[in-house]
């Protein structure tokens, strides 16, 4: 081919095809950040461990976050009145953020580990897009987890 214009279009088309292939090949992920890293119901500064999902997938206004825990409960605690609303240990929210808490019925007999998971779903069809989990570990002061630094390129709530 001796036509520079045709070569340019062919080259740009090939780059576009490679770019689209790379974008489609990426799988959405979700990571969970947790603060504070140690929590006990005796703390007066918070109602639980704040769990924030960091979703890295295609933005959509139809996302919902399906939270589950094998011990404890999730609560909502938001402005302006900061009323605590119990959501249970299996709940779906649209803004993503929940707090995990527990009320020890028999102190010292709580499970050693609690598995907390979140599934990011398309609310229109209920299809799971990404899954993440975090383990909370009991010690003599409460439950703790490692603090995850959120990637700077991922938005917690896609627009």
Domain-embedded: residue 96: yes
- In this prediction, residues 2-23 reach a mean pLDDT of 57
Domain-embedded: residue 20: no
What's the pLDDT tens digit per position in 83-128? 999 999 999 999 899 999 998 877 778 899 999 999 999 999 888 9
Of 22, 45, 24, 23, residue with least CA distance to 35: 45
Domain-embedded: residue 157: no
Q: Which domain holds residue 57?
A: 28-144
Predicted pLDDT at 88 = 97
Domain-embedded: residue 1: no
Domain-embedded: residue 154: no
Predicted pLDDT at 11 = 59
Instruction: Read off the CATH number of the domain in which 139 is found.
Output: 2.60.40
**Local confidence band at 156 (pLDDT 50, 70, 90 cut-offs):** very low
Distance CA 111, CA 133 (A): 17
pLDDT score of 79 more than 90:
no
Domain-embedded: residue 91: yes
Instruction: Give the mean pLDDT of the chain.
Output: 82
**Local confidence band at 130 (pLDDT 50, 70, 90 cut-offs):** very high
pTM of the model: 0.74
Q: Is the peptide bond before 48 cis (omega within 30 degrees of 0)?
A: no
Q: How far apart are the first and last CA of the chain?
A: 45
Place of tokens 């975090």: 134
Of 7 and 95, the one with more pLDDT: 95
How many degrees, rounded to 5, is the angle at CA 143 between CA 139 and CA 145? 105
pLDDT score of 25 more than 70:
no
**Local confidence band at 150 (pLDDT 50, 70, 90 cut-offs):** very low
Domain-embedded: residue 138: yes
* Structural domains of the chain, count: 1
């Amino acid at each position: 081919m001796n036509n520079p214009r045709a070569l340019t279009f062919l080259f740009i088309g090939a780059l576009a095809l490679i770019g689209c292939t790379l974008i489609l090949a990426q799988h959405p992920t979700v990571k969970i950040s947790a603060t504070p890293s140690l929590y006990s119901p005796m703390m007066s500064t918070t109602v639980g461990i704040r769990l924030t999902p960091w979703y890295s997938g295609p933005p959509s206004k139809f996302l919902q976050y399906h939270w589950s825990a094998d011990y404890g409960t999730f609560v909502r605690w938001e402005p302006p009145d900061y009323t605590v609303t119990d959501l249970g240990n299996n709940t779906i929210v649209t803004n993503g953020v929940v707090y995990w808490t527990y009320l020890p019925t028999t102190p010292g007999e709580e499970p050693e580990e609690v598995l907390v998971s979140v599934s990011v779903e398309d609310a229109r069809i209920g299809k799971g897009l990404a899954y993440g989990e975090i383990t909370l570990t009991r010690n003599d002061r409460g439950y703790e987890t490692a603090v995850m630094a959120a990637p700077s390129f991922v938005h917690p709530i896609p627009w």
